[in-house]
């Protein structure tokens, strides 16, 4: 299959071309404000199956349905989730996915047999135009091969999906660079995956909000994943990623020692550094992630940098930061990409 890439500069034309494929049961990769999604008609179980095939995704991992208006979300849920209107008014369109009990129109393929369904409205004009023109909710996971870092440009999507899907809509680099916050409202509110809508921002609306224990730790043996996506190896490049968490200078000193050790063994090593620590690495080979003062900068570069460094390194050494605000989303993705190889100083 030949994979075409077309720009979303002409929003309506791109949406019309994408929607024709979606309505015919096909797959279309499209930009969102978080990462690129791999979309199919979310009401058509056979179309949704093709997503799992193209990604090589285990089919017990449920998908998010993307909508372009609030009323479309309410048709997918069995009743109105607590807090939903307030959350939608505050954060939609935007990087917040809401989970609640599903209605009858949601196919089993989307929910992987669960009695709940995840829904979000992306803050991206090309994505919403595609959903509108399709006239159905669009089921979409991140548009990477299962296990790989999520794609934040159309070029990343092409790298993983060339020959596997007919069309990629190219809307340029994604604004946030990490996937949406996933919040379950089926029961007491709990964050299953952190994102750019932070725990602090949600607490301001909800009062209390819990964090799933698996956000910063591997699942314990026998523990059941609140979100099935948490149990798989994730976001991992081919290179081994290792993380050191601490203040800029001590973290850099420790990473320098690791760098020198791996280099002496003949490994090709790169450091993913924060601006604050850069002066401590001397002439070791570094790539800039962003600044500790604003972890959103670390989020927006992380996946792209892992893909770039993977081309030239056997080992990627990365600084970890605190988990306040968007630091939690950064550390959640980074620790998974490292398979939890981490030192806390
Ligand atoms: O920003 C995003 O959310 C991107 C863009 C494309 O919208 N999508 C995305 O989808 O990250 P995906 O499939 O890569 O991640 C969805 C996560 C998975 O961890 C999945 O297990 C979880 O949401 N999930 C989906 N439905 C669920 C449900 N009913 N109950 C619990 N977890 C669910
Ligand atoms: Mg994903």
pLDDT tens, position by position, for the chain (345 residues)? 999 999 999 999 999 999 999 999 999 999 999 999 999 999 999 999 999 999 999 889 999 999 999 999 999 999 999 999 999 999 999 999 999 999 999 999 999 999 999 999 999 999 999 999 999 999 999 999 998 999 999 999 999 999 999 999 999 999 999 999 999 999 999 999 999 999 999 999 999 999 999 898 887 666 666 666 655 567 888 999 999 999 999 999 999 999 999 999 999 999 999 999 999 999 999 999 999 999 999 999 999 999 999 999 999 999 999 999 999 999 999 999 999 999 999
- Which of 143, 179, 187, 212 has most ligand 1 atoms within 8 Å of CB, for mutation? 179
Both tokens assigned to 82 = 């607590």
What pLDDT, on the 0 to 100 scale, is given for residue 233? 64
What is the Å distance from ligand 1's center to 60 Cα? Answer: 12
What is the Å distance from ligand 2's center to 231 Cα? Answer: 12
What is the Å distance from ligand 1's center to 313 Cα? Answer: 30
Both tokens assigned to 242 = 């290792």
- H or E element in which residue 109 lies: helix 108-111
Query: Any idea which ligand is nearest the CA of 36?
Result: 1
The whole-angstrom separation of Cα 193 and Cα 332 is: 8
Ligand 1 contact, 193 CB (< 6 A): yes
Query: Any idea which ligand is nearest the CA of 145?
Result: 2
What is the Å distance from ligand 2's center to 187 Cα? Answer: 24
The whole-angstrom separation of Cα 236 and Cα 306 is: 8
Q: Give the pLDDT confidence of 68-114 residue by residue, as tens digits.
A: 999 999 999 999 999 999 999 999 999 999 999 999 999 999 999 99
The bridge status of strand 37-41 relative to strand 138-139 is: antiparallel
The whole-angstrom separation of Cα 245 and Cα 256 is: 14
Query: Any idea which residue has 């800029």 for tokens?
Result: 248
Residue 319 forms beta bridges with which residues?
A: 244
What is the Å distance from ligand 1's center to 63 Cα? Answer: 5
- Which of 109, 124, 142 has most ligand 1 atoms within 8 Å of CB, for mutation? 142
Ligand 1 contact, 31 CB (< 6 A): no
């Amino acid at each position: 299959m030949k994979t075409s890439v077309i720009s979303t500069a002409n929003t309506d034309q791109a949406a019309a071309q994408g929607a024709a494929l979606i309505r015919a049961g096909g797959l279309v990769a499209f930009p969102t404000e978080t990462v690129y999604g791999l979309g199919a008609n979310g009401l058509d179980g056979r179309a949704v199956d093709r997503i799992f095939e193209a990604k090589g995704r285990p089919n017990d991992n449920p998908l998010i349905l993307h909508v372009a208006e609030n009323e479309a979300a309410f048709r997918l849920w069995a009743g109105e989730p607590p807090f939903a209107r307030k959350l939608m008014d505050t954060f939609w369109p935007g990087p917040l996915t809401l989970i609640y009990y599903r209605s009858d129109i949601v196919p089993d393929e989307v929910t992987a047999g669960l009695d709940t369904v995840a829904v979000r409205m992306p803050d991206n004009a090309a994505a919403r135009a595609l959903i509108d023109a399709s006239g159905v909710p669009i089921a979409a996971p991140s548009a990477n091969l299962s296990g790989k870092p999520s794609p934040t440009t159309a070029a990343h999507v092409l790298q993983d999906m060339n020959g596997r899907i007919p069309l990629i809509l190219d809307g340029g680099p994604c604004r946030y660079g990490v996937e949406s916050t996933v919040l379950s409202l089926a029961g007491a509110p709990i964050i299953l995956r952190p994102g750019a809508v932070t725990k602090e921002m949600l607490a301001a609306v909800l009062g209390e909000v819990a964090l799933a224990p698996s956000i910063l730790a591997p699942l314990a043996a026998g523990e059941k994943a609140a979100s099935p996506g948490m149990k798989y190896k994730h976001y991992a490049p081919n290179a081994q990623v290792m993380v050191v968490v601490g203040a800029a200078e001590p973290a850099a000193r420790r990473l320098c020692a690791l760098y020198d050790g791996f280099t002496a063994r003949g490994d090709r090593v790169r450091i993913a550094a924060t601006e604050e620590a850069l002066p401590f690495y001397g002439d070791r080979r570094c790539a800039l992630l962003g600044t500790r003062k604003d972890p959103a900068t670390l989020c927006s570069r992380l996946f792209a940098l892992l893909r770039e460094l993977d081309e030239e390194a056997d080992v990627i050494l990365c600084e970890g930061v605190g988990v306040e605000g968007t630091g939690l989303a950064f550390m959640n993705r980074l620790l998974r990409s490292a398979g939890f190889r981490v030192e806390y100083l």
